[in-house]
Copies of this chain bind each other. A is one copy, B any other.
């Protein structure tokens, strides 16, 4: 298999040797499962991703959806892939059995999703959007709404979307103008224009349910007047499905994610678009934000998956492609060497590895925190996990999107001139990746969210919690004998992060909001480097312990044959990548911290006509 999408050994290492995720099965919430049943689910996803999704990826990328006669038609392969993936139970994998779910921890569901996303992000996208929409109904809808929509969505008979964005509003959700009017029958009629609605129309399911933001007539201006509605493309009337006045007004010609259509949606052109209010009036934004945080983790997971499949492709290419000779080799008649032998190619690959595997651990850790926030037995443990998850979400969304894009560009670069051609896939994954810095809150918005909301919430308690977690990893790594230099660098980086946060938080307390947030992009970058540094130290810790264990093993018969050299290789690679991150990235924290503390005002001062 030339492209495994993800290294199976690495996933196992991260889940079990680093995170100890099997402890979840000791919690009542997950008692239906064991590590083995959960990994069986991961294994099915992995197999589907390798056998079906990746092989058809190229054809689907080349032949994007078409809008014909007002309806969207997907690539003919999409229906079979959608159904096969749906039939794994992906949509409701983490939901309780009562609503048709499998009660799986999000940690293992995420592990399965990484493979599926790496195989074809669009297929998983359609299913993930359905999960997100259905969860809003599960969380906030009343029983009649659940009866009407929930089951059909969780089994994937109907799909779902979230319809937030409007042409005039973009990221500014307070400017939503879609209107909902209470009709004489007690229901709502909705009218307005939505744009960038992923999965907003397609030919895979009988019906599509849009979870849309709209203003009830007479509601206050701004975000406090926005409500959430469920709006099916077809509504049930007298036992039949009838047209609910949702028009596909246009299709966005996206540069990637070519299996998944994104449309402009007109609601209520004929004043016959029925909407069902979800939860209470005027609380739509807060409901959406529950979904949004989960959606941001899915974006991060996609970023890692998209970088991983490209990294694996580049690694395979670098092992096979002969070109050039060692530096200083004098014999032109000697055979050429694989390009992996060239230091700069190894640099590009190790950098990709550091981004992909560091980011994957962060995403798995966030999923674990989500599971603990839901299901830990003691309330303090649930609250701690929820705080940490909240704090880490902007990083888990942005790091894979931004550094993943860099990794994808490096994968293309490793392919040389061939990488610039559409005969090879790295260019397609690079296009796919670019979406992740844009959807579900742009990178700029993540920076504002992190610095302006997350680190200052609850008097900064969550950042103190994070520091404690990182310090615990540093202690463990020291105990295991990980390089003192690496431990010391991470400790210094955490201290710098605390200093900067205190300083910027102080500006906020003085009411200097603009100054506080001016360097939110640099702050997010610094924060990410530290958090990924933590993931690498945790992996160095686990790898060092594994290596010491096998070295200490006096009876070689006890070690499973054939796996020992493999695990040793895995651990050696982990140590190199951890060293790389500590040597190359952690020193940047000092530079970024100084920039934030100094609060350089170059772009703050810049005027429109000075550009």
Contact = CB atoms under 8 A, between A and B. Distances in A.
Interface in A50-109: none
Interface centre among A169, A175, A221 (most CB of B within 10 A): A175
Contacts of A584: 595, 600, 602
A409 B413 contact: no
A522 to B, nearest CB: 8
Given A333-B221, A421-B255, A609 B569 contact: yes
Main secondary structure of the interface of A (DSSP, over half): helix
A340 B572 contact: no
A499 interface: no
A603 B346 contact: yes
- Count of chain copies: 2
B588 A603 contact: no
A596 to B, nearest CB: 11
B413 A573 contact: no
Interface stretch (A114-122, A140-148, A321-329): A321-329
A289 interface: no
A20 B573 CA distance: 53
Contacts of A439: 417
A606 B590 CA distance: 27
Contacts of A315: 611
A336 B167 CA distance: 13
Contacts of A222: 332-333
13 contacts: A170-B416, A172-B324, A253-B423, A254-B422, A255-B420, A327-B513, A327-B517, A343-B603, A346-B604, A347-B603, A353-B611, A417-B439, A583-B598
Interface in A563-579: 569-570, 572-573, 576-577, 579
Contact of A172 (B170, B336, B580, B583): B336
A476 interface: no
A358 to B, nearest CB: 13
A175 B337 CA distance: 12
Contacts of A256: 420
A444 B345 contact: yes
Nearest to A573: B610
Given A196-B417, A591-B588, A344 B521 contact: yes
A11 interface: no
Contact of A572 (B253, B324, B600, B607): B607
A611 B357 CA distance: 11
A443 interface: yes
Given A222-B332, A343-B603, A576-B605, 12 more contacts: A170-B416, A254-B420, A255-B421, A256-B420, A343-B604, A349-B606, A413-B443, A419-B438, A427-B431, A569-B607, A576-B602, A580-B603
A434 interface: yes
Interface in A412-450: 412-413, 416-417, 419-423, 427, 430-431, 434-435, 437-439, 442-444, 447-448
Contacts of A419: 438
Interface in A516-546: 517-518, 520-521
Contacts of A448: 344
Contact of A591 (B421, B521, B591): B591
Interface residues on A, range: 35 or more
Interface in A166-225: 168-172, 174-175, 195-196, 221-223
A5 to B, nearest CB: 15
A606 B417 contact: no
Interface string A268-297: 000000000000000000000000000000
Nearest to A7: B611
A301 interface: no
A253 B423 CA distance: 7
Contacts of A594: 587
A557 interface: no
A422 B251 CA distance: 11
A323 B173 CA distance: 10
A34 to B, nearest CB: 31
Contact of A421 (B254, B332, B336, B513): B254
Interface string A385-424: 0000000000000000000010001001100110111110
Nearest to A589: B591
A220 B414 CA distance: 30
